[in-house]
Amino acid sequence: MDERGPEACPIADVIDVLFSRWTTPILWALHERGRQRFGDLERHVPGISPKVLTQRLRQLERDGLVARTYHAEVPPRVEYEITALGASLEPLFTTLSTWGATNMPAVEQSRRAYDA
């Protein structure tokens, strides 16, 4: 059980894992494009620094959402891919994408009205 107690939000831990700054774009890139090398991921996640990408990939690997494969070649080659656990997030991605397409215009309109 969560150390925050029984009253804690039941999805707080999920939000902590999935919705940190770069996690979702990395998982989305791996979900949409399949296995990728580090440089490919850098190109498909605009704005992320190599240091942060490395940190996030390590955390995602630790959480079981991404698998890292090291190929002992010259030069060495490392590939990343979404695991079955990571791929199980596809319905969530689909739901959020659909929600965004449907509701983000209303959110933007609300923001404009609030800011005015």
For the chain, what percentages of helix, strand and coil (3-state, to nearest 5) are there?
A: 60, 10, 30
Say which residue the tokens 């983000």 belong to. Answer: 104
Say which residue the tokens 């039941």 belong to. Answer: 10
- In this predicted structure, what is the pLDDT of residue 5? 61
Q: Alpha-carbon dihedral of residues 69, 73, 77, 78, nearest 10 degrees? A: 20
pLDDT band at 39 (very low <50, low <70, confident <90, very high): very high
Residues 6 or more apart whose Cβ sits within 8 Å of residue 7: none
CATH fold, domain 12-115, is: Arc Repressor Mutant, subunit A (1.10.10)
The residue ranges of every structural domain in the chain are 12-115
Sheet holding 36-37, edge to edge: 36-37, 77-82, 66-71
Percent of the chain at pLDDT > 70 equals 94
Q: What is the pTM of this model?
A: 0.81
The DSSP element (H or E) to which 77 belongs, if any, is: strand 77-82
Q: What is the mean pLDDT of residues 82-108?
A: 94
**Average pLDDT, rounded, for the chain:** 91
pLDDT band at 99 (very low <50, low <70, confident <90, very high): very high
pLDDT band at 21 (very low <50, low <70, confident <90, very high): confident
